[in-house]
Amino acid sequence: MNAVSPICLIDLVPALRWSNPADTAPVLQHGRLIEGWWRAVPLPRVLDIAGSTWLSHSLARLSVERWDHLELAEFLPTLRTLQVDLAEIAEPVRGAVLATAGSWEQLITASPATMETWPFPADCCAIDIVSAVTWRAVHPFTRDHIRGPVPSPALMIEAVRTIGNWMPASAPEHVHNALTYLSTATGADSADSADPRRPADHTADSPPPPPSAATRAIRTLRALRAQRDEEEHASRPESTAADFAEGGAQKFRSSLLGPGRTLRRPAFGPPKEYREQAGGSVPEPAPEPGCHPLVDLVEGLFRSWRELERVVAAERLFATDPVSIRLLSDQISVEIGEIRNAQRTVEEHLLQWLGSPDGTPITEHLQKLSEELGAATTIDHLISAHPDHPVEVPSLGTPLWRVIITLFTDRRLYNGWLVADDPHRMRWQTRELLSDGPSLADAGIRLGRLGIRQQSLRAWLLSTPGVTIRDGYVLVDPSTSMEAPAPAPGYNGHTHLVQGAGETTSSGLPIRRRRPAATAPPQQEQPPRVAVSARCFRAPDGRWWHRVDVTADHLNGAPVTVPPGYATYLGLQPGRLLCLTAPGADLLVLVWRDQPAFDSLRPLLRRLSAQAGDRVFITVNGDRLDARRLPAADLSDCGPTSRALHLIGYTAPAATEEALKIISRRITEDGDDSNTDPRALLDLLTRRGDTDIAGELRPALVTTP
């Protein structure tokens, strides 16, 4: 006979073990659980009876109301073993965490008392944040798999209660049924799960008293017996997965669970006749004209476009995750060539409009935003920077803030931040500027030189590795290593290859056709590897990137050649081309004729505001291309090693010996920095074709004959 799992809530929350049950009972009391269940009932059974939403919200209340001095990781020690990406957390909690804690690690090492001092947005508070954290700690004990963003149980319960409080008695019966279902599923109908954000309003005449202790004990014992029977059935050798599915479905009956323990879809939708009359959906009302002038302005532009152009703009140009051209072609049954032409037309229309008097208000708005938000800001700050930003543009079905991000030419999205420079470099500079532990006010003055504004200061500091705020001072932990800044790494992405359909590209680059198999030439010499290709450098994480030295011809749309080794690294073969999506959904084409070359980088260079003499480092991941610009700088006062490091995108100062190690790591496949013999390193650079780097290093190195 299998024993019931001994893991109870007191094992998950050690503070409960030493607390007075009378103090915690008002929060943890549940109509279907015995008194003191947190010491006796296994967690999986509690979750089967009460649900993860109710339990997570109750734990959050305990943390906020009773143990607000404890860090969340001390209140729930299992949090230390959980690796949670903020992208897994649902809004508005994710935006609030990014704007305050900055990271999951900083969040769980904070206490609710500390959180009360954080500048949360209006639609979120500490209990909402804490309940999302407790839900993540509770969920491993459920039988479900995480299939979407982590919700905030507190917000879910509050939403259900709000609907219940405002729902008129005249509402249709199916609406009342839906509310009853949600109340039961979330535990919002429990008289014990009061909301700490508002005072209790119970009266003697309001809800009936909870069931007696004996009734709760009987219910709990029945639930424990059901779990024991299920575990015995599962442990029998002759039982199969199908047997268990059938038996489990019979043993565990719930109004919320269907076969296979999936959430049952309740029948509380509107009547069929109403759905047919309503056409299956009720469209969202369009914003009133004049209420949102910026939305009206861009809406006037988009409405003048063809339907295909609006679709391309919505699905590729302004989308959070742009749809590939091939997939979009399949979805709307339009030829790939037409979609590419439509995207080029859209980009031209936008550039012309932004440069015209009609687009001046948006251009001025972008300039004002750049100054207001600074060099780094969270998406939440961008959305709240103007009342029009969260409003949807009707013809695109996209909020205005997504359009604004795409129109920015000097900044990009990175892990929830909108940044105007390399975020790694900015965080490294942040640590350097604050290494002496200044006060928070002094830190704000120093980081103002980097363009960090006061409203983003705390979130930026807490998102920087090794940086903490304690007692009004900013501390940098030197034991948290952070590599000196380097250009964004390349990606070893082998993309799907597309056979060229025409003889030449738009810039006149010939596309070599595939030879018939019968006349295929003999095997030719393999192209050089990326490790021995000029202007190709290995990032610290093992991925490669390529340097483009921008010229006036490149700005005018001339082809940009790349080394064959780098093209092969990307998966390109002679006679073929790659279609790549650049930032802002610009379409770039890399084609291999006599040598590999980009058809044109003009859209990308415009978006980066590049000038002749700048250096652009490009990266490719799948069919996406990313780029970083290193502006031209006067290096006449710098030493030879600094000028050599600048050519690989490394701008931090370094001694000669360290510079040789850095260069050696960047040009070898395994990142080996032992090859620092000056003569050998110069020979390797020369063989690669990096004569400019070798030329800068040669005067600084003493070589023997």
pLDDT one-digit tens code per residue, 61-114: 999 999 999 999 999 998 988 888 887 787 788 888 888 888 888 899 999 999
Q: How does the average pLDDT of the chain come out, rounded? A: 75
pLDDT at res. 279:
45
For residue range 495-544, what is the model confidence (pLDDT) as tens digits?
333 333 444 444 444 443 333 434 334 444 566 788 888 999 887 767 78
680: enclosing H helix or E strand? helix 678-688
pLDDT at res. 61:
93
pLDDT at res. 525:
55
Distance CA 530, CA 666 (A): 11
pLDDT at res. 110:
92
Distance CA 509, CA 598 (A): 9
Measured in whole angstroms, how far is the alpha carbon of residue 296 from the centre of its chain?
30
Percent of the chain with pLDDT over 90: 9
Q: Which of 17-21, 239-243, 280-284 has the lowest mean pLDDT?
A: 239-243
Using the structure block, give the residue that is written with the tokens 């004002």: 368
Distance CA 619, CA 287 (A): 40
Name the token pair of 195. Answer: 């909301």
pTM summary value: 0.39
Do the bridges between strand 376-378 and strand 473-476 make them parallel or antiparallel, or are there none, so unpaired? unpaired
For residue range 584-596, what is the model confidence (pLDDT) as tens digits?
767 788 888 778 8
pLDDT at res. 108:
92
For residue range 128-169, what is the model confidence (pLDDT) as tens digits?
899 989 988 988 887 654 444 556 677 677 777 778 777 787
Alpha helical stretches, state H, 385-507: 400-407, 423-433, 440-447, 454-462
545: enclosing H helix or E strand? strand 544-549
674: enclosing H helix or E strand? none
Find out if CATH 2.40.330.10 is the number for domain 528-630: yes
Q: Which of 276-290, 497-511, 648-662 has the lowest mean pLDDT?
A: 497-511
Q: What is the 3-state secondary structure (H, E, C) of 286-353?
A: CCCCCCCHHHHHHHHHHHCCCHHHHHHHHHHHCCCCCCCHHHHHHHHCCCHHHHHHHHHHHHHHHHHH
